Amino acid sequence: MNKLFAFLLVSAFLIASCTTTKPTTVTPMETRELDDLVVKAKKIEQKPENIKVPVYHGTRTLDNDLIHTKLDVRFDIPAQELMGKATLTLKPVFYPVSNLILDAKYFTFTQVRLNGPNGPSLKYDYDNTQINIQLEKHYSRKDQYKIYLEYTAHPTQGPKGGSAAIQSDQGLYFIDPNETDPEKPTQIWTQGETESNSKWCPTIDTPNERATHEIAITIADKYETLSNGRLERSVKNTDGTRTDYWNMDMPAAPYLMMMAIGDYAVVRDTWKGKPIAYYVEHEYKDYATDIFPYTKELLTFYSDMLGVPYPWQKYDQVVVRDYVSGAMENTTAVIFQEFMNGTKRELMDQPRNELIVAHEMFHHWFGDYVTCESWANTTLNEGFANYAEYLWLEHKHGKDEADQHLEDELMGYIDNRPYHPLIDYHYGNREDMFDGHSYNKGGCTLHMLRNLVGDEAFFASLNRYLTANALSAVELAELRMAFEDELGTDMHWFFDQWYGHAGHPELEVIHSYDATTQKLTVTIEQTQKGDNIPEVYLLPLKVDIYNNKGKPTRHTIEMTARKQSFTIASNFDPVVVELDPEGTLVGTIEYLDRSDLAWQELYHFMPSYRSRVHAVQHLMIPLREKGKLKEFAKALIKDPYHGIRETGLFALEGEQLDVATLATIEKIAKTDSSTKARANALKTLAETGDQKYVPLVKTILADDSLAYTVTGAALSAISQLAPDQAAAAIKPLENIQNQSILSSIGEIYVNDPSPSHLAFFEKNLTKIKGFEAVDFFGNYVVTVLKVEPNNLGEAFERLKNISTDMTQIPERRFASAKILAEFRSQAGDHPLSAIVTEYLKEIREKETLKELQSIYQQMF
């Protein structure tokens, strides 16, 4: 399962590996401060006799084991119902059984029989969530038995649940079931995680169950179907329907079962003899491998890295409409949300597609092949899939790109309070486990573990874990023991403090140098506090000390106390002392005595991305205040990582620039690998007003292979540099519904208001996406004011309708709310002021996304 991408993605940056000398040993000089270690008793408000064991969410007890499910399904699409015939093969796990409890939520049963449709009827109780079937005798663990059920599933019935990551637990979804929406194709698809496949298939719906299954799907012949395993045959029926027989003959957890049905173009290929297929809507047929980029290369990369070749029968991927999450790793049949769709040019600005493909694919080892046995152990699925993104970026795009991702992931976790242990048996709701801990902290912790034990040891241990636990359910101890057995070393301390407890170390660092004794003293204090957060982390750490030439010497220390000093022999007074120089610690580090000058020196020494980006983040405000940001930014635009170059360009906006700096920016505009950097560079060049850039801008406009951000920036640039040529430049782009292009045209049209330009805004109000919507909606309102001022109330109502429609993407909801809030703050006693105030109130009340709710609270 992939989280819906965080709404406010904080873009960071980062690396080039730093040159370091051989580690030297250090003598720790402990200054254990006992006062800090006093454990304060927790306030107990309950009376002693009322204290209970906290709610413990262990692994579900299995009395019966499901071995195989044979399913026959048809649909009443307008009624949003599934008619099913299921034959389940089962056996008692250990103790004899005389009854069978199956999860089956909101079904109507018509037959419950032993063996098959002609077998004896069985008595049962049903409470709308589970069916308890009385077997006709006791079965021992040596027996197998079959149960036959005929039923109608009503997935839209029952209470609605879900989480931030998976927004609904309906299990089975019918899109445009009555074919009333011209914008939407009719589709049927399922979403099983966490325990929602029992909304359409009677099963033992828990991740520690594992069974094979076959599904016969009967549907109108015009539709394609997709399910797990192989399509064995298709049979056309006389009534215009077709039955597809899908067979999943390797066992997997019930939540990984899936079906998807719709009018798709299916693009087929093979990887090492195994079939792969991309299911896309027809208009995207030519872009299937852009929508699911690097699929084959990723299969090879992960197979080789893990030493476990991709284990399943085939690999298929499908984009569905109105999906309730980002993507889902159903075994051999991954479902994705429609934000994946795009043309080759559009997708150049959307590098996240490859990360989602990578994430879901890695689940086919961690999640599908080896499965967390309970939701308390969710990070054994999600932490690995999250870390797969890092591994791919590092391999394909370099360490800076990967380290920027790591930095974003770490911040995503740190902001995700309150903290709970990564393995959490005391969660409130299992859906809450799909959070910034299981994903982000889980991935960052694996990176830290890899750096602790070394690459070879890390991947050998993962191979042992996958091999020893193949096709079974696991808990954390199994991961720990794989490392211990492979490496011959105890790892309990690591797994206990990082997985068994909440939080992370928060370090404060100071240093001093004694020229007489030639000794450097580095004092580190752990300041973290909170429920279930260790007061002291055992931390093996690296320290780089830099001389004034920027050459680092690396030392290794081990922190074992809350506050501790380390003495390091050094024949020079270090310019910078940098803890955790490669940026692998899951935690924060604050340098209490580091000057801005030292931060600047550190940046110029070109250390790892993490150190560079921290220097940049630290210096932006103080240097701006001192009027010294321009000089620093001139260095940033030459950084090897595009994220830092982009920051440099941003900092140079509106500055008077010298010839050499402009030449660097021109080079970025022409050839940079980052579309964003190229776009920013074009903006800066346009601001100079210098006509000499017109030919460059026109060359870019004429190149129809470029990303739309670059073309959009060129369009804005031509309107600034040569306004008389803007109309001609817009013409070939006017019908492209891309946010960068629409936004740039909007910027031009707002300065040239006319009824036809107002019509352009109105036509594209529903098309603009992303944060570009803010400017676009703003320019729309300004154009209405200039062209049709009497229609302003209508324009505001349209914006309000976008903000209060929760099926709209969050960026659009935010953008329209922001424009309304800006109007109200400037409107004074404008006649529409009162109604806009009402609109804002309604927007606040209807918003369901937590991040937006808190932004709105600050905004209006």
Nearest-approach distance from CB 434 to Zn ion, in angstroms:
8
Task: Report DSSP state, residue 264.
Answer: -
Residue 800 corresponds to which tokens in the numbers above?
Answer: 């309000």
d(CA 549, CA 601): 10
For Zn ion, the closer CB: 1 or 730: 1
CA atoms within 13 A on the CB side of 639: 34
Which residues, 6 or more positions from 309, have their beta carbon under 8 angstroms from its beta carbon?
272, 303
Nearest-approach distance from CB 609 to Zn ion, in angstroms:
25
Sign of CA dihedral 690, 696, 700, 703: positive
For Zn ion, the closer CB: 14 or 335: 335
Q: Which residue has the tokens 């790591």?
A: 406
What is the residue type of 515?
A: A
Nearest-approach distance from CB 3 to Zn ion, in angstroms:
8
Sign of CA dihedral 454, 455, 456, 458: positive
Nearest-approach distance from CB 382 to Zn ion, in angstroms:
5
For Zn ion, the closer CB: 100 or 410: 410
For Zn ion, the closer CB: 385 or 819: 385
d(CA 93, CA 59): 15
Nearest-approach distance from CB 621 to Zn ion, in angstroms:
36
Q: Which residue has the tokens 């409470």?
A: 127
Phi-psi sector, 145: left (phi>0), alpha (psi -120 to 50), beta: beta
For Zn ion, the closer CB: 1 or 334: 1
Nearest-approach distance from CB 363 to Zn ion, in angstroms:
6
Residue 740-769 contact track with Zn ion, rule CB under 5 A, x = bound? ------------------------------
Sign of CA dihedral 361, 367, 369, 370: positive
Phi-psi sector, 503: left (phi>0), alpha (psi -120 to 50), beta: left
CA atoms within 13 A on the CB side of 152: 11
d(CA 465, CA 481): 8
Q: Which stretch binds Zn ion (CB under 5 A): 1-9, 72-80, 177-185, 661-669?
A: 1-9
Residue 1 touches Zn ion, criterion: CB under 5 A: yes
d(CA 691, CA 722): 8
Instruction: List the interface residues with Zn ion, window 700-729 (CB under 5 A).
Output: none
For Zn ion, the closer CB: 327 or 817: 327
Closest CA to 596 of 624, 615, 610, 613: 615
For Zn ion, the closer CB: 186 or 317: 317
Nearest-approach distance from CB 413 to Zn ion, in angstroms:
15
For Zn ion, the closer CB: 1 or 700: 1
HEC string of 335-366 equals EECHHHCCCHHHHCCCCHHHHHHHHHHHCCCE
For Zn ion, the closer CB: 257 or 820: 257
Nearest-approach distance from CB 692 to Zn ion, in angstroms:
50
Residue 185 corresponds to which tokens in the numbers above?
Answer: 């194709």
Residue 449 touches Zn ion, criterion: CB under 5 A: no
For Zn ion, the closer CB: 363 or 594: 363
For Zn ion, the closer CB: 382 or 747: 382
Per the CB < 8 A criterion, the answer to whether 804 and 849 are in contact is no
Nearest-approach distance from CB 326 to Zn ion, in angstroms:
8
For Zn ion, the closer CB: 168 or 588: 168
Phi, psi of 268 (to 5 degrees): -110, 150
Residue 356-385 contact track with Zn ion, rule CB under 5 A, x = bound? --------------------------x--x
HEC string of 713-753 equals HHHHHHHHHCHHHHHHHHHHHCCCCCHHHHHHHHHHHCCCC
For Zn ion, the closer CB: 330 or 716: 330
Task: Report DSSP state, residue 4.
Answer: P
Nearest-approach distance from CB 806 to Zn ion, in angstroms:
24
Nearest-approach distance from CB 781 to Zn ion, in angstroms:
40
Q: First-to-last CA distance in the chain?
A: 34
Phi-psi sector, 230: left (phi>0), alpha (psi -120 to 50), beta: beta
Applying CB under 5 A, the site for Zn ion has a residue count of 3
Nearest-approach distance from CB 852 to Zn ion, in angstroms:
23
For Zn ion, the closer CB: 1 or 815: 1
Closest CA to 310 of 345, 352, 362: 362
d(CA 818, CA 409): 27
**What is the CA angle 810-816-817, rounded to 5?**
85
For Zn ion, the closer CB: 1 or 682: 1
Nearest-approach distance from CB 163 to Zn ion, in angstroms:
13
For Zn ion, the closer CB: 382 or 582: 382
C-alpha separations of 699 from 594, 686, 711, 728 in Å? 47, 14, 10, 14
Per the CB < 8 A criterion, the answer to whether 261 and 272 are in contact is no
C-alpha separations of 274 from 28, 43, 227, 311, 316 in Å? 56, 60, 16, 10, 10
Residue 382-411 contact track with Zn ion, rule CB under 5 A, x = bound? x--x--------------------------
Residue 513-542 contact track with Zn ion, rule CB under 5 A, x = bound? ------------------------------
Which residues, 6 or more positions from 704, have their beta carbon under 8 angstroms from its beta carbon?
345
Nearest-approach distance from CB 2 to Zn ion, in angstroms:
5
For Zn ion, the closer CB: 361 or 741: 361
Q: Which residue has the tokens 């200054």?
A: 31
Nearest-approach distance from CB 86 to Zn ion, in angstroms:
28
d(CA 473, CA 433): 17
Query: If you write DSSP's letter for every residue of 404-462 in order, what string do you get?
Result: HHHHHHHHHHHTSPSP--SS-TT-SSGGGGSSTIIIIIHHHHHHHHHHHH-HHHHHHHH
Residues forming the site for Zn ion (CB under 5 A): 1, 382, 385
